[in-house]
Structure 1
Amino acid sequence: MRAVIQRAAAASVSVAGEVVGALERPGLMILVGATHTDTAEVAARLAQKIWTLRILADERSAADLGAPLLVVSQFTLYADTAKGRRPSWSAAAPRAVSEPLVDSFVAALRELGAEVSTGVFGAVMQVSLVNDGPITLILDAD
């Protein structure tokens, strides 16, 4: 799995003009995508890493502060732009694989004690973000 983590002063995600997920206070915005070889165990490891990543104020983690998380599925994180001008999405897992993995990732975060809101898997979403810092990291689960 791959994630883009952004420290956020505020963030929200809307579908058809309706806010479906938001950070009510500063926290982390997480875009997450899955590839064909990912498993629920990989999702749990990525969740643990992000929850304890010390990128918030005074080098503290979301776990330290109880900071909220906003998770949005993002298959385009696996875009391949090596050839031509049209990205290939072949490295992204299909919906039947990726949707349960994103759900596992969110469930693992909640099991760790995280307050998590989400977008809507597969929907056309509008994401609003006030990046704090700005701090943006890209993580690949190992």
Structure 2
Amino acid sequence: MKALVQRVTEARVEIDGAVSGRCGPGLMILVCAMQGDAEANADALAGRIAKLRIFRDDDGRMNRSLLDTGGGALVVSQFTLSADTSRGNRPGFSAAAPPDLGEHLYEHFVTALRAEGVTVETGRFGADMAVHLVNDGPVTIPIER
């Protein structure tokens, strides 16, 4: 699985003009299931992100995790993270998991992140969404598991 993790002061996702999910200080997580991924990949990714030390400590160093800060997470499915831009001008997305598996692994990732102790809100798999966020830092980190 692939994720793009952004440290945010706030984030929200809207579907048809209505807020579907939001978080205050914490993480905006865009996530994509790839061909060959399984629930173990989602579990490993959730554990890695929950413990990722990218929040400032008292000395201003990135030394605290989402669990340490008590922040929340907004998780949004993002199949375009699978983009292959190696040929031509139109990205290919064939490396993404098929939609049924992608949705299952997205939901499993959300459940696994909650099991780590993180408060999680979400978008809706496959929906056309408007994502609003204030990136803190900015800190944006790609992760693969």
Please list, as runs of the form range in 1=range in 2, the aligned pairs for 1:34-45 lying within 5 A after superposition: 34-45=33-44
1:92 corresponding residue in structure 2: 96
Trace 1:121-140 onto structure 2 (pairs within 5 A). Answer: 121-140=125-144
For residues 36-88 of structure 1, what are the alpha-carbon distances to aligned partners after superposition, in whole Å with 9 as ceiling and x for unaligned?
A: 11110110000000000000121210011211000000000000111111111
Partner of 1:54: 53
Give the one of 105, 108, 111 matched to 1:107: 111
For residues 107-137 of structure 1, give each alpha carbon's deviation from its aligned partner in whole angstroms, at most 9, with x where no partner exists.
0011111100000100000000100000000
Q: What letter corresponds to residue 116 of structure 2 in structure 1?
A: L
Count the aligned residue pairs. 140
Which structure is higher in strand share?
Answer: 2
Secondary structure at the counterpart of residue 36 of structure 1: coil
1:21 corresponds in structure 2 to 21
Question: Which consecutive residues of structure 2, in runs of 5 or more, have no partner in the other structure?
Answer: 58-62
Measured on the aligned residues, the alpha-carbon RMSD in Å equals: 0.6
Secondary structure at the residue paired with 1:105?
helix
Instruction: State the distance in 2 between where 1:56 and 1:44 align.
Output: 22
Alpha-carbon contact 1:34-1:93 (below 8 Å) kept: yes
Structure 1 residues without counterparts, runs of 5 or longer = none
In the alignment, which of 80, 91, 101 is matched to residue 76 of structure 1?
Answer: 80
Q: Is the 8 A contact 1:36 1:97 kept in 2?
A: no
TM-score, L = length of structure 1: 0.97
Q: Distance in 1 between matches of 2:91 and 2:25?
A: 33
Instruction: Flag as ranges the 4+ runs of structure 1 deviating above 4 A.
Output: none
Distance 2:144 2:46 in 1: 11
The percentage of counterpart residues that share the same residue type is 51
Tell whether 2:23 aligns with 1:32.
no
Aligned equivalent of 1:4: 4
Measure the CA separation in 2 of the matches of 1:70 and 1:57.
Answer: 19
